[in-house]
Structure 1
Amino acid sequence: MKDWKKVKLGEILTLSKVVSESPDPKKRIRVKLNNGGVEKRPYANDKEGATRYYIRKSGQFIYGSQNLHKGAFGIVPTELDGYESSQDIPAFDVSDSCYVEWIYYFFRQGNFYLKLEGLAKGVGSKRINPNQLLEISVYLPPKIEQKRILESINDFEKKSIIVEHEIKHQLDLIDKLYTTTLQDAITGKLTSEWRENNNIQEDGNFLLKKFIQKKQDLIEQKIIVKQLPLPKIKDSERPFVLPSTWTWARMGDISLKLGAGSTPTGGKSVYINKGIKFFRSQNIYNDGVKTDDIAYISPTIHEKMKGSQVKPKDILLNITGGSIGRCALIADDFDEGNVSQHVAIIRLLDLNIREYIHYLIISHYFQETIMNVQVGVSREGLSMASLKMIKIPLPPLKEIFKIVKYLNDFENSYIRLKEIGSKRKEEFETLKHTVLREAFGNINIEIDNMARKPKPSSGSFHPNLVNTLGNYTRSENLVEIEDLLKEYGKMSALSLWKMSKHEKDIDEFYEDLKLKVEISNIIKESDEKGFLELVK
C-alpha cells in the first residue's frame, strides 16, 4: 500500500447537476437498501413542478441521502442511462484516476457505510448531503492496481453467488420439510402407520361430543353465556379428506374463549416501567413470547381489562398486520398478563390438545385460511367471527398425543438443522467481508478524520460531531410514511414500517396507517398485493 494515495472523495468525485428540462415520472431512479443496487422506480404521478430532477448517466456513483448508512448506494447501470432522480438521490461523475467500482467497494468493505449513520443531519428526515460525502477520505492505488484488485473481487463475487444460492437452497429445503411435516401431521399421513397398529376406541367424533357437552355444562353452571350453535360442516366445505377416525370441527367448537384484546385508555401514555405484562403483536412468535420490549400496565388497568387477561396455557394469536398468524403458547407457570387489540386469546376446552392446536395454527393450511379470510390494508385483519368458523381437523385424543410427540422430536431436529445452515451463512458472510477488507489492504479509515477542514456551506458538519462517531448509536428515525411513499413510490407495508418513524412500534405504525387510509385518504392499497402507494 506504500504507493496508495489518501485522497478525499471530493478530489475524484464531481456532483452531477444536469437539470432535466422535461421531467418524466416514468423515468425515475431509486437506490435499494442493503446493497440491493440501483433500479427503475415504480411509476408515481408526482406533482408537476414540486421537485427538481436531474439526469443521471450510466457509470455514475449514486446514493440515497437518507439511507446511505443502510446500504443505499450503487452505480447507475447502462439500462438506466438518462433516467432521473431528485437531489435526495445525488449522483457523481468519477475522475479518470479512479474506477467507479473502487468507490462502490470502498463503502462496502468492512461495512464501512454503517459507520456513517451519525453524519446524517436535519430535523425530521435526516440526510447525508454531498458536501459531507465529499469530505470522506479514501485510499487510491494506481489505476492498474485498482483494476487487478477489482478483477479479483469480481471473480470472488461470482463464486459467492453460487455458494449463497446453495446455502439458501439448503435452508429452503429445511423449511419445506418442516412445512410438509406439519401438513402431514394435520392430515393424518404422519400417523398412518400408528393407526394401523393401534385399535382406536374413542375417535375424533367422540372427542368433539365431549367438547360440546363440556360447553353445555359450563353454560348450565353459568360460567359462560349461551351461544348460538355453529353451522355443521358440509361435505363440500371440507378442505381435504381425513382418516375415518378423525372428524371436522370448528375453532369455536373446541374453545372456551376466543377474544381479541384491547388498548387501554390513554394508549402508550399509561405504560409503566414495571407491572402487569402487556403483550403486543411484536411480542408474539411461533416459538414463544419475546419480552425484550414488553410493555407494562398497572394492576388497576389490568383489573379493568378482565376480558383480555391472559392465563397459563392460553394460545396467543396475532390477528392484524404483517405478523398476522404468528402464535405463541403461554407457559404452564405463567403468572398474569394482558393483550392489545392486535392479539387474540385462544383458550381451549381441553388444554391437553393445545400443543396440537398450536402446530395446526402454524401449518400451511391454517395460515392460508387466515390470509383468505382477513380483510383490508388498515388492520381489520382476522375477526373473532371468522376465527371461530375456521375448520379444525380433529383426531382421537390418543393420536393427538402421538402427533405432538412426533412433531416435538422433529422440531428439535429442525432447529438444529436451521442453526447449522444459519451458521454456515454467517461464516460465509464473514468470509466475504474478510476478502473485501484484504483486497483493500485492511485499511482503517478513522471517521474522526473525515472532516478536518469542512467546507463552509450550509450542509457541512461540525468536527465535534464527527469526533463522536467512533461509537455511534442509532439515531431516531422520524420519517413520515407519506414522505417515504412520495420518495420511493409503491412500497410493501413491511418496508414502509421499517423505514418510518414508527420502526420500533408496529402497532403505532398501523394506527397511523389506518388514519391516513381511512380518514385522511392520502394512502391506498396498491394493485400489487401487500403494497401501498399515495392516492394520486
Structure 2
Amino acid sequence: MKQEAVVVERGRLPEGWRWSTLGKECEINPRKRNIIEADDNRDTSFVPMEVVDGGRGIISEIRIVPFSKVKKGYTYFEENDVLFAKITPCMQNKKSAIAVGLISGYGFGTTEFHVLRCKERVIPKWVYYFIRNQRFIDEAESNFTGAVGQQRVPSPFLEKYPIIVPPFVEQQKIVDKLDKQMAQIEIMKKEAEGNIEAVKDLFYSYQKNLFESNIFQKCPKIKLVNLTTKIGSGITPNGGHSVYQKDGVPLIRSMNVHLNNFKKEGLAHISAEIDESMKNTRVIKGDVLLNITGASIGRVCVVPDEICPANVNQHVSIVRTNNMLNPYYLSYYLSNPNFQKFIMDSESGATRQALTKSKIEQFEIPAPSIEIQNQIVAQLNARKQLSEELLNKMNNQLNSINQLPNSILNEVFGQYQIQLS
C-alpha cells in the first residue's frame, strides 16, 4: 500500500528556513527543449546506468555517441540536472548524480532515470544530497510500483515529497561543508581499501615464496593424473535454473569456488532424483574443486565437509586425490600466484577460458612426502587464519567508513522528521 510523506516537526525550523516539496522546487522530468538541429554524427554525451557510481554518487564516465543513436528513446537532461535511478535495485544502491561536463550542455541517458532540474530557490547539490539521505531512499522504496524485479519510483512520489529549503546562502554553506566531509570520507575509504589489498598481497606473497623455496625445487614433480583417482566436471541439469530448489542436494557452480575459499552465497540445490541422474559427478568430502571455464578460470578450493554430498555443473571440475597427495596442499599449490599465472598464460589467445580434463591431468605437481605436505598445509592454514582475522577487522572498519555519509546526511536532513501517513 502506497503511503504519502508528511512533515512532523520535532522542533522549529531555523529562521528563514521553510518546508516545500520537490515538485515545487524542481521540474520533475522536464520536457526536452527544442535543440538546434544537430548533425546525426555530432558527438553527444550519453550516460547509461552502469557508469553511475552509487557509492560515490558520480558519473564515472560520460560516453560519447553520435546524436542519431540517442535522439529518440532515451532520457534527455541538461548540465547540472540531478539524475535519480528510479528502478530497483539501482535506486536502493543510490545511483544518483549531477550531470556535469556535458557536450553542448545536454545529454541523454537510460530511461530508468528521473531528472530533477532545480528552480531558482534550490541549488542542485542541495537536492542531490537530500535524495541520497537513507530516509528518502527507504521511503522511495516503500512507494515502488510495478512487478517484482521491475519496480520503480513513480514521479508523483517525487513531486509531493517534502524538502527543507534553507536560504540560498545557507544551502551553499552546508553543501560546501558536506563536500569537504565526503571528500575526506573518500580518502579514508581508499586508505582502508588499500590496507585490505596489502594484507591480501602479504598472504599471496608468503604463499608464493613458500612454493619457490628449495624443498620444492628439489622434490620430484608428478603429473596430476598419477596423484588422483578422479578428474572430471559435471553437467547442467536439464531445465537449467528452472529445476533449482530452495533445499535439496547442493549443486556447486563456479560462483561458489574462490581461491581457497568456498562461498555459499548463491548455492543452488537440486532434487535427489536429478542428483541420481548425475551420480558420476557427485562431490565427496576432501574433493578439490577447480573452475575450468569463464572469467573465474583457475579458482580452486576444497569442498567444505558440511556441503557434502553435493554435485557440480559443467564449469567446475572435481579433482579427487589419492593417498600421495593432501587435497589442501593441492589447493594451495594450484592457487599460488605462480601457478595461477601459468593457467592464465596457457589459456590466453584462441583457447582462452577452457581447462580440459587432459590439460588438468598433465599439471605437474611438486610432491614431497605426505608428512611435509601436511606441515605446509598447517603453515599456510595458520597464516591464512591470521590474514582472515586482519581482513575481518579491516572490512568492519571499511563498513563503518561507508556508513559515515548516511550519518552525516541524517544530521543535516534528519533533524525534522518526515513520516508516512
Where in structure 2 are the equivalents of 1:301-450 lying within 5 Å?
301-331=274-304, 335-350=308-323, 352-374=325-347, 381-446=354-419, 448=420
Q: Deviations over 1:219-241 (max 9, x none)?
A: xxxxxxxxxxxxxxxxxxxxxxx
Q: In structure 2, the residue corresponding to 1:174 is in which secondary structure? A: helix
- In 2, the alpha carbon distance for the partners of 1:422 and 1:273 equals 30
Residues matched between the structures, number: 396
Distance 1:135 1:332, change over 3 A: closer
Shift, 1:9, TM fit: 0.7
CA distance in 2, matches of 1:333, 1:147: 57
State whether residues 254 and 348 of structure 1, in contact with CA within 8 Å, keep that contact through their aligned partners in structure 2: yes
Aligned match of 1:527: none
Q: Compute the displacement of 1:98 (Å).
A: 1.0
State the match for 2:95 in structure 1.
Answer: 72
Match of 2:13 in 1: 2
Question: Which amino acid in 2 is paired with 1:436?
Answer: L
For residues 92 and 303 of structure 1, do their structure 2 counterparts lie closer, same or farther at Cα, with a shift above 3 Å needed?
closer
**Tell me, what secondary structure is at the counterpart of 1:324?**
coil
Q: Is the 8 A contact 1:29 1:38 kept in 2?
A: no
Measured in 2, the distance between the counterparts of 1:376 and 1:36 equals 37
Task: Find 1:27's aligned residue among 35, 40, 44.
Answer: 44
Match of 2:81 among 46, 54, 60: 60
Q: Does 1:256 align with 2:229?
A: yes
**For the residues of structure 2 that align with 1:72 and 1:280, how far apart are their CA atoms?**
30
Please point out which of 72, 82, 95 is paired with 1:51: 72
Q: Which residue of the partner structure matches residue 468 of structure 1?
A: none
Structure 1 residues 105 and 81, CA gap change in structure 2 (3 angstroms): farther
Secondary structure in 1 aligned to 2:44? coil
TM-score norm. by structure 1 comes to 0.65
Cα distance in 1 for partners of 2:409, 2:351 equals: 44
| Cα separation, 2, equivalents of 1:306 and 1:74 | 52
Whether 1:103 and 2:116 are equivalent positions in the alignment is no
Q: What's 1:164 paired with? A: 189
Give distance in 1, aligned partners of 2:231 and 2:80.
58
Q: Provide the rounded CA distance (Å) in 2 between the counterparts of 1:382 and 1:308.
A: 17
Equivalent residues in 2 for 1:125-136 (5 A)?
125-136=150-161
CA distance in 1, matches of 2:23, 2:305: 63
C-alpha displacement of 1:392 = 3.0
Q: CA deviation at 1:373?
A: 4.1
Q: Secondary structure at the match of 1:69?
A: coil
Q: Could you say if the C-alpha distance between residues 276 and 68 of structure 1 is closer, same or farther in structure 2, counting changes exceeding 3 Å?
A: closer
Distance 1:83 1:333 in 2: 56
User: Shift of residue 162 of structure 1?
Assistant: 2.6
CA distance in 2, matches of 1:358, 1:125: 41
Query: Does the Cα contact within 8 Å between 1:279 and 1:339 map onto a contact in 2?
Result: yes
Name the CA shift for 1:298/1:324 in 2 (closer, same or farther; >3 Å).
Answer: same
CA spacing shift, 1:82–1:351, aligned 2, 3 Å? farther
| Structure 2 gaps, min length 5 | 1-11
Residues 240-251 of structure 1: pairs in structure 2 closer than 5 A: 243=217, 245-251=218-224
How far has the Cα of 1:181 moved from its partner?
1.1
Q: Sort the Cα spacing of 1:260 and 1:26 in 2 relative to 1 into closer, same or farther, 3 A.
A: farther
8 A contact 2:259–2:301 mirrored in 1: yes
Q: Is the 8 A contact 1:25 1:46 kept in 2?
A: yes
Residues 81-118 of structure 1 show CA distances to partners (whole Å, capped at 9, x for unaligned) of 52421571453331221111111111222363354235
Counterpart code for 1:73:
S
Cα distance in 1 between the residues matched to 2:323 and 2:96: 55
SS at match of 1:78: coil
Instruction: Give the 5 Å matches for 1:178-193.
Output: 178-188=203-213
Deviation at 1:418, TM superposition (A): 0.5
Give per-residue Cα distances to partners, 1:37-62, cap 9 Å, x unaligned.
Answer: 12544456797588255664322212
Check 1:93–1:443 CA distance in 2 against 1; reply closer, same or farther (3 A cut).
same
Q: Indicate the SS of the match to 1:28.
A: strand
Unaligned runs of 5+ in 1: 196-241, 450-536
SS in 2 for 1:382: coil
Match of 1:11 in 2: 24
Q: 2:116 aligns with which of 88, 92, 99?
A: 92
CA RMSD of aligned residues (A): 3.3
Task: Give the conservation status (yes or no) of the 8 Å contact 1:27–1:40.
Answer: no
Q: Work out whether residues 317 and 345 of structure 1, in 8 Å CA contact, stay in contact via their aligned partners in 2.
A: yes
Provide, for residues 107-165 of structure 1, a one-character-per-residue CA deviation record: whole Å limited to 9, x for no partner: 22236335423544446854435444323221222222212221221222232233222
Q: Which residue in the other structure is 1:453 paired with?
A: none
Q: Hey, what's the Cα distance between the residues in 1 that align with 2:156 and 2:33?
A: 18
Q: Sequence identity, in percent? A: 24
The alpha carbon displacement at 1:322 in A equals 4.0
Change (3 A) 1:291 1:426: closer
Return the TM-score normalized by structure 2. 0.81
Judge conservation of contact 1:29–1:83 (CA < 8 Å) in 2.
no
Shift of 1:361: 2.4
Matching residue's letter, 2:161: I
Distance 2:342 2:24 in 1: 59
SS at match of 2:286: coil
Query: Per residue, is there more strand in 1 or in 2?
Result: 2
* Distance (Å, rounded) in 1 between the aligned partners of 2:134 and 2:305: 46
Q: Is the 8 A contact 2:96 2:132 kept in 1?
A: no
CA distance in 2, matches of 1:44, 1:370: 38
Instruction: Answer whether contact 2:227 2:324 (CA < 8 A) is retained.
Output: no
